[in-house]
Amino acid sequence: MEKYIADFCNYLALEGKSPRTITAYKLDLEQFHSFIQRYFENGEVDIKGITVLNIRDFFRFLNEKPDCNRSLARKSAALNSFFRYCKRSGFIQNNPMEKIKRPKYEVPLPKCFTEEEVRTLLSIPDTDSPFGIRNKAILETLYSSGLRISELAGIRLQDIDLKRGLVRVTGKGNKQRIVPLGSYAIEAINNYLKVRPQFMRENSPDLLFLTKSGKAFDTKQLDIILKRYFELVAKAKGYSPHSLRHSFATHLLSRGADLRAIQELLGHSLLSTTETYTHISLEDIKEAYKKGHPRSKE
């Protein structure tokens, strides 16, 4: 079983799945393997002998734990993907997951800032200091283009075209896309480029944004910097760098942007992922209705 799991993880890597997804699936499959060892002599699991009942017992076991529905759904997806791979590879003849009803979960609505909060947020960095100038450019770029912080960290100097207002980013699965930069972001980046030499060192990479020691940013460093600003404007806890990406999409949608266009800008493979933002807008509409309509509470 361990060999099949290792082969499956190698397959996922070749397919361009993110390291985080591969690690999560690996842990889920190892947990499943550990659980079903009790059904096999000496704990030696025969992949061809795994039954629907074994899998149902596993999910029954998980239901007794404080795992949320989303965790169960991911484990189900990991098992389904694993057994489909094993069937295609000829390791098994039947996929036992085909007879399993996969659990559903409610997707929590992502947190996003109001337009007023974003305006406040973008005005906070002290542009009298090189760090403030850099951080303002980071914030403006994230909100202007809806980037993930990993995508922002990977922007090279040759990826930006400020005259045309475009930036090329590398997203999940190493997929590249070109997204527009707004005028405020262009101005902020231009101002940052004037002070960028102050961050450079002899071995600095050709990345747009550099740390104080002239190195590439990692997502943890960016997360720390951004959360300091978020704490000054957010009315509740739980806001993350991804909240700016959510805000970008939500504000576009509320101002009439096409959902397909937003999908392209965000780099989503599936439209269903982007449709999450329609729920946010609907919640805003319902809230406005409750506050404004004279008979909404009758």
Mind telling me the catalytic residues?
A: 148, 172, 242, 245, 268, 277
* Cα distances (Å, whole numbers) of residue 118 to 146, 186, 224: 13, 17, 18
Q: Which residues contact 211 (CB under 8 A, 6 or more apart)?
A: 199, 217, 221
Position of tokens 């914030």? 139
